[in-house]
Amino acid sequence: MEFIQDKQVSIEKPIVIAAMQDMGNVGSIVINFINDSLKTKTFRIAKTSYPTFVIDRGGYIELPNESWEYKYTDDLIIFGGGKGQPQSNSEINDLCQDVINVTKKYSAKFIYTLGGFHTNRILGSNPKTYITTTSIELTKQMEGLNIDTTPQKSIITGFNGLILGFAKKNGIHAIGMYGELNEPEIPQYRAAISIIKTLEKLTYRKLGDTSQLEFMAQEIERKFKN
């Protein structure tokens, strides 16, 4: 991985929200929504060293722009979004470590990550968001706020799981938030809305108007019903 510091910024003890594309595009939907809504600004870029695919334009190829941005506003640092994740474990580990390094540099005390939670439960228009944390004590605090915790043991792969492990190893509090979905191959806007509402509850701040996400959810539902 290559890391480019676009500019130096002055942020004191921010909250870090970091997630990448995953099941149902949930991670990217939420990260892109927050960046658009809060008009965040880029200050650091992570780029993969080697392409994981090429784009055939019909007789000639182009290389993809596989990069992910760190953005900031007030007391938030937002990382990720965009398309895809690195394909090698070493590059995902490099990304996780860089997020930890940035977290420490700005004395951030908390990392939130997020993604999809695949379930066979038939979902209505209000899927749940389940959380898991880096400590039993933190989980008990979340239960006291009536936040649902993950209902069974599982393995969480990819950036949106591993960043929790990196945070725990470095003594940083972190919470993973995973929105219920039935169809991992379809963009899951309702799962994203559920996560955004849970984030707002835990961070005590408004992240934006989700009406456009609701509209996109209805469009997806109409498309696949037909």
Looking at residue 226, what is its pLDDT? 57
Q: Is residue 141 within 8 Å of residue 46, measured between CB atoms?
A: no
Q: Is 88 helix (H, G, I), strand (E, B) or coil?
A: coil
- Report the C-alpha gap between 81 and 34 in whole angstroms: 10
- Report the C-alpha gap between 194 and 38 in whole angstroms: 18
- The pairing of strands 55-56 and 129-133 is unpaired
116: its two tokens = 């999809």
Looking at residue 208, what is its pLDDT? 94
Domain boundaries of the chain, sorted by first residue: 2-225
The CATH number given to 2-225 is 3.40.50.10900
Mean pLDDT split into 10-residue runs, the chain, 226 residues: 90 94 92 96 91 86 89 94 84 95 94 92 85 95 92 84 96 95 91 96 93 92 76
Looking at residue 58, what is its pLDDT? 92
- Report the C-alpha gap between 61 and 55 in whole angstroms: 5
CA 69 vs CA 4, 21, 102, 217: distances in Å:
10, 13, 12, 26
Neighbour-count burial of 77, counting CB atoms closer than 10 A to its CB (0-12 exposed, 13-18 middle, 19+ buried):
buried
